[in-house]
Amino acid sequence: MGKRVVKVIGITAVALSLATVVAAIALCAIFPNKYAAEVNAAAEEFGLDGALVRSVVWAESKFDKGAVSEKGAAGLMQLMPETFDACASALFIPQSARQIFDPQTSLRCGCYYLSMLIDKFDGDETAALMAYNAGEANARKFLRGEPIFPETQKYLKDIALAEKVYGIFM
């Protein structure tokens, strides 16, 4: 092999390595893994896959613990205040500790709620995710053949994409 070929191979290897590093950094920026310990603990507590929980957090709040939707859902897992309070009560979280913007509390309540929905829909994660996004009554309508809301269709696609990424890298 000539010196020129070896040099081209070396430059190509460096360029590929650099491209891989840039891609990894971009992927981490797009799909963060904030609150990893809290996500893992809540997922484990309620028998959920960590990649699924990360995907829901990513789709709901992009890991912004202070996120509030136009409809009033709040926190990492974007629970409505009434749902958050019901979950916190079921988990025996004292009133003084019910802080929807606290990552650990939001994750515990959100994972509890998601696990309940998965149980209600006989293990069907897609149906549970539709219910998490659009409400149980709407999810049941979708399952009976009524059109799925465009927002819910996008939500399911976002979850599927994020779950692939988090499933590989986390």
Query: Catalytic positions, please?
Result: 60
Instruction: State the amino acid at position 95 in one-letter form.
Output: Q
Stretch (H or E) spanning 90: helix 81-90
As a whole number of angstroms, the distance between CA 167 and CA 75 comes to 23
Give the CB-side neighbour count of residue 4, counting CA atoms within 13 A: 0
CA distances from 147 to 105, 121, 132 (A): 34, 18, 17
Which 3-state string (H, E, C) describes 90-114?
HCCCCHHHCCCCCHHHHHHHHHHHH
User: Can you read off the two tokens belonging to residue 104?
Assistant: 């650990």
